[in-house]
Structure 1
Amino acid sequence: MIEVGTLTIMEVTLIIKAGTSFIKASTLIIKAGTSFIKVSMLIIKAVALFTTAGTLIIKSGTSFIKVSTLIINASTLIIKSGTSFIKVSAFFIKAGALFTKAGT
């Protein structure tokens, strides 16, 4: 299930493809104020991945990556949830808010 503003997917796989690079994490945690949003099954294919220091926490094993804003710009951005696919041209995560723009 994907909800705008509250991204909730119930599995345990995170794969971000940026060019030829892959970032794999067992759990994606988005911190919004004092609350946390856990993402479970999220597959993102992107050409470019941009991050800045801040409050978004990606947990991968014992490592943590913290960013305030996760911005992925891609000609084709695919979010897979179960058997459903959502395609967007831009994907922004800011402090618990999820914004998407329709792709072409």
Structure 2
Amino acid sequence: MEKKRFDSLESWSMILDSENIETWETSKDDQEEYMADLSQLFIGNKFASGAHSRIYRGIYKQRAVAVKMVRIPTHKEETRALLEQQFKSEVALLSRLYHPNIVQRSFEA
């Protein structure tokens, strides 16, 4: 089986694009389960960035986490909708992955 590498944001966007994959939706119960108590969140240094997002090291309830912040443009409806859908797909996908090198999803806010 051939392994593929995805080095760029464009490659990952292709994978997460709802036209290219079946969209994974989270249930209302899952959404409530992963709501954050932001008073328990410490956001540290930025360690990665893209065109519309930044990823920071963080601590949530005394546990190391990665915090992704997506800047969603309000004046471009098509871009806003695409970014929201990609983010939801990414959250749903990551919630199903288990690997020592992948931070487990703790919440989304």
TM-score tier by shorter-chain length is under 0.3
User: Could you state the TM-score of these two structures normalised by the residue count of structure 1?
Assistant: 0.23
Structure richer in strand, relative to its length: 1
Structure richer in helix, relative to its length: 2
User: Could you state the TM-score of these two structures normalised by the residue count of structure 2?
Assistant: 0.22
Flag the structure with larger Rg: 2
